[in-house]
Structure 1
């Protein structure tokens, strides 16, 4: 008997969201969702999905179709609970890309880059004061955190404090935060000669919350190692993981 993850309460939330977005709900929709979660949790190939859930191709086709339509991010944003945006944390984390993720068709975004660890993808994540995901961006591993910071700030939209490590020590990032009426808690680089009057050591120590969020995401093996060829499919897997983290937190 394959292990399942969906409780009646979580499935009810997901099913209501599916109906809200006009998704087709078949008799075996719950089993199909369990099959997708099994793939997310184990990182195994689609063909290895236990037959007791559904045929593997049924699970893959539904996942891929909804990823193409951009529905997984809509599900996450709909199911995401109330955000505590007194403190917002941003950070990036490298994801090792398996060799099976190579070979995407020309014209499709891959979000794979070369870094010290070889082929990698990077998740740029924003979390709220409880360490729960607000939203994220996917890039190649060769993209520096500071290059995506303003996009994350736009996703966050509003907060009292923006907390990040010294990799985000750049004036354009601080200016972007000020424009959103956020106070930047970002340490200066060692060679910086500027003053940093807003820096708060206590708040900066709370930055472990975003690291904890990455640790929770990487409990899902399909997130910890990337096997998906297309950026949109890997991004959809991350959205499902974030969705599940929120459902468990409610």
Structure 2
């Protein structure tokens, strides 16, 4: 199912010496082993997979040319056509991953969270999270921003978040620019009430995005960010979403 979506590789020419190109399936399996175990690239079992430098090289190449994103969108589009996605309602939330090596899109942790290591704050929109931008890196204390950056073609009619997303400016921007209604419980002490209690009943279904985070954190490479380049971490996140999607086929 995935192989036709991968970039076409040049076959070995019979009139020239050299090694036979490594099969795409073997490369893919090696990358998935790293995703599931969270191990270092050098720990990739040599008896089962190609050399780790070869696997790592192809992983970075597929990240750079957007291969994982293409596969993700294709699988999600197929599932959507079969009625597997309800795009009328979306859920937004953020999770934290410890960034051991720092790098771009990481920031110092807040004292309130008691984090000692560097942090990468990421936000994931659960609507077509597996079809569109599954992970949007943001700066610390800017968890509201990702919901305004989603592609207009994937915007739901309603976006449901927790109290952190209760902001009049965000409400207005989503409504006027995307036609999306934001539903979030009011912060304590709010003077002007803007939410309809009937619509707030939808907040009870926020367990869906929490469940998605739980699924993603079954992949140990996503629990801790070891990649200095945020693009590589994003590639692993796309892979995790791809595996979750494949369970529906």
TM-score for both structures, normalised by structure 1: 0.82
Aligned-pair CA distance for 1:183: 2.6
Equivalent residue runs for 1:148-167 within 5 Å = 148-152=146-150, 154=151, 157-167=154-164
Aligned-pair CA distance for 1:143: 4.0
Structure-1 separation of matches of 2:88 and 2:98: 32
Structure-1 separation of matches of 2:139 and 2:9: 34
Q: Alignment partner for residue 168 of structure 1, among 156, 161, 165? A: 165
1:216 matched residue in structure 2? 215
Structure-1 separation of matches of 2:235 and 2:92: 20
Structure-2 separation of matches of 1:157 and 1:175: 19
Matched, 1:113 2:107: yes
1:233 matched residue in structure 2? 232
Structure-2 separation of matches of 1:142 and 1:126: 17
Matched, 1:94 2:96: yes
**Alignment root-mean-square deviation, CA:** 2.2
Cα displacement string for residues 49-86 of structure 1 (whole angstroms, at most 9, x for unaligned residues) = 11111111111010011112222222211222313112
Matched, 1:84 2:81: no
Q: Alignment partner for residue 70 of structure 1, among 42, 66, 73? A: 66
Structure-1 separation of matches of 2:126 and 2:140: 22
1:203 matched residue in structure 2? 202
For the residue of structure 2 that corresponds to 1:162, the secondary structure is strand
Residues 206, 76 of structure 1: alpha-carbon distance in 2 compared, 3 angstrom cutoff: same
Structure-2 separation of matches of 1:121 and 1:245: 22
Residues 216, 193 of structure 1: alpha-carbon distance in 2 compared, 3 angstrom cutoff: same
1:128 matched residue in structure 2? 127
Structure-2 separation of matches of 1:146 and 1:158: 15
TM-score for both structures, normalised by structure 2: 0.82
* Alignment length (residue pairs): 226
Structure-2 separation of matches of 1:22 and 1:196: 53
2:242 matched residue in structure 1? 243
Residues 133, 221 of structure 1: alpha-carbon distance in 2 compared, 3 angstrom cutoff: farther
Cα displacement string for residues 112-171 of structure 1 (whole angstroms, at most 9, x for unaligned residues) = 111132311122101128x8675333425624211333113x466432221011111112
| Contiguous gaps of at least 5 residues in structure 2 | 12-20
Greater Cα radius of gyration, structure 1 or 2: 2
Moved over 3 A (4+): 21-27, 131-134, 154-157
Residues 47, 147 of structure 1: alpha-carbon distance in 2 compared, 3 angstrom cutoff: same
1:183 matched residue in structure 2? 181
Larger deviation, residues 131-140 vs 195-204 = 131-140
Cα displacement string for residues 4-50 of structure 1 (whole angstroms, at most 9, x for unaligned residues) = xxxxxxxxx110211xx445685621111110000000010111111
Residues 218, 24 of structure 1: alpha-carbon distance in 2 compared, 3 angstrom cutoff: farther
For the residue of structure 2 that corresponds to 1:90, the secondary structure is strand
